[in-house]
Amino acid sequence: MEVFVGRFGLPVFRAGPIITALLAIVLSACSGDPGPSADSEQAAAEAKQMLASGGSVDGKALYAACVACHGDKAEGNRALGAPSLRNQQDWYLKRQLQQYRAGLRGSHPEDSYGMQMQAIAKTLPDEAAVDAVVAYIAGLGGKAAEATLEGNIKRGADYYSNLCGACHGPAAEGLDVLQAPALAGVDDWYLMRQYQHFRDGLRGADEADKYGYQMAIMARHLSDEAVLTDVLSYIQSLAD
Ligand code: HEC
Ligand code: HEC
């Protein structure tokens, strides 16, 4: 936390508006998270149009609006920032769609990917449509996402068992009783972004987002990016 106050707080303030603007550009370039591209904006517009026609509770037909970004087997598309939706529990996928629809996720102005997904989730006609599309995704099965991070797996294992395993389960398989989702087999680059968003107040900042809020508090305990990479590499190593 101190690092961020130091880095983004006082020195930036003292530097004046032009340097602050330049710094903001440099920092956003460094984050490697440029936000939705023209391609994904177009896919979003098409998805919203397809869903707005409304009325369908056929999960497969509804999922047609998701394919452009999440892929026809829900394998995800990194270039568009859209994660694989496989290996995730149906209750978790459902809650996320509900959170987007309620404006509890994807409302922070710096969360450009979340905002994009929120707009699409809100175009799903009703709860029955949410249930149907989730049931379709859950039935797709499929392999775990490929690892893209290379951290120290052994060090990650120690941190994971001390800080994460109690909620996410010993094999990162998720714990239904605590409503903590599976992390093994989910895209590591996506988990990294979500973790950073929890930590930096872009996700789970609203107490009404009960489970997101819990994770946001938790995320403040580990702010070292190198250790986080280790933890996520360890989680990836657990995937089938
Ligand atoms: C324009 C591209 C696009 C389309 C179309 C799209 N998504 Fe997404 N989706 C995204 C992005 C980007 C994210 C990551 C958002 C974030 O970082 O919060 C996401 C995230 C999600 C998540 C959260 C996953 C998690 O692990 O928390 C779910 C669930 C989801 N999408 C379901 C759907 C469904 C169902 C559809 C079709 C009705 C759909 N998406 C259509 C881009 C898209
Ligand atoms: C107190 C229980 C708890 C602990 C401890 C915990 N988490 Fe979580 N975590 C959750 C819950 C609950 C959610 C679901 C939040 C939601 O519904 O938005 C979550 C969500 C996440 C997500 C988002 C997954 C996705 O698909 O979007 C990531 C990433 C994550 N946790 C990583 C970690 C890591 C890494 C640790 C250890 C450093 C950890 N968590 C420790 C409860 C916990």
pLDDT tens digits, the chain, 240 residues: what are they?
333 333 333 333 333 344 444 334 333 434 456 788 888 888 898 888 888 876 667 999 999 999 999 999 999 999 999 999 998 999 999 999 999 999 999 999 999 999 999 999 999 999 999 999 999 999 998 888 899 999 999 999 999 999 999 999 999 999 999 999 999 999 999 999 999 999 999 999 999 999 999 999 999 988 799 999 999 999 999 997
Shared-domain flag, residues 52 and 119: yes
Ligand 2 binding pocket (C-beta < 6 A) is: 95, 163-164, 166-168, 178-181, 183, 186, 191, 194-195, 204, 211-212, 214-215, 218, 222, 231
Last residue of a domain, one of 113, 138, 163: 138
User: Domains in the chain: how many in total?
Assistant: 3
Does the residue 148 lie in any domain?
Answer: no
8 is in which domain, residue-wise? 1-30
CA of 143 to the centre of ligand 2 (A): 22
CA of 6 to the centre of ligand 2 (A): 26
Shared-domain flag, residues 123 and 159: no
pTM for this model (two decimals): 0.88
Shared-domain flag, residues 123 and 213: no
CA of 165 to the centre of ligand 1 (A): 26
- pLDDT, position 59: 93
Which ligand minimizes its atom distance to the CA of 210? 2
Beta bridge partners of 180: 175
Does the residue 143 lie in any domain?
Answer: no
CA of 46 to the centre of ligand 2 (A): 31
Does the residue 145 lie in any domain?
Answer: no
